Structure 1
């Protein structure tokens, strides 16, 4: 735990300047320059940030901070992604189970909820039966 805390404090001290300060950015001059360029120059000097894949950009940014600023090994990332995927699945499973428990309690106490539930189940059964029957018919 001490090693983890020291890493956290070191990271915070490296990023402290960026955490505690704010900047305002203006893109007016860049947009004006882009509009003044010919289509050929726009293709050659492509600096339109609206075309960036921001998810990929942020992922590369974070990986760069981890590798070059924090000097951490990137070998543990696949294992960490797998762990996060497992945690997300557990989260979904927990939410589904909680929903079903609450729904079951609601059905046990409310005739309207019970009727809605039976309607949904009956509709799904008919829908599946229709597709089973139609898939067995061949022209």
Structure 2
């Protein structure tokens, strides 16, 4: 048994170092495998009418099939859900950086339009292309920063709180990693340790530290993209939109320039509440009552911590004063 365990440990280490060498400049396996897939397509496409569609971070729907529909916790959606339920207090993020997010239904419409454009290009030229068309679908023409994303999320999150919230909303983007780590240790891990200790004492299974382990792993992936500015060109997509008729532009709405972010975020946050947290809007009256209790608990806790910090500071200053006086 010992030798088997040792062999498995060695295999895991070898696999880790192999992946590390393969990644090179790539931040994670997700981006690396996408690049590999694109390279394979370029080499093996032959005479096939091929194009590459690169969407930005895809979040909930704008209008179709339902407003605010979403089924995953990737990217900013996981951050909004964690912050709204009181689990997440900080993320390592430069708030002035533009968040390249696009609605799911607009992305699908753009993908369909790109497929139509690729087919037309192939028919008109009647030959294969050495230069495969690449369509970047980004929010460059209607930009929004991470700070603006946070402000709109908190605005509508505070209006529609969830009954599943465990604490009041207190979230911030921290540009400096050292500040973010302070929040991680004192506002994530320390409370989780205290809660799990109390849970074990009551004879129950501790869960909060495991939850934060998953959250921090997810945030480490997101940090790479949220701490630096990214520049994309979308000239090819602009050219495509010029080819669409007014009817097609309406049926396959995908122009980010016509998107109202304020309207969008109202349904986006409601969608997270309903479709991800599984908390229907019928419970809103109960949620608001609970939200008020959490708010006052949060304020009382801040007062206690401020008092403890002042007492500690006074004790340190008094000790130093007496020491130097002697």
Alignment TM-score, normalising by the size of structure 2: 0.20
Larger relative helix fraction: 1
Higher normalized strand content (fraction of residues)? 2
- Higher relative contact order structure (alpha carbons within 8 Å, sequence separation ≥ 6): 2
TM-score normalised by structure 1 residue count: 0.42
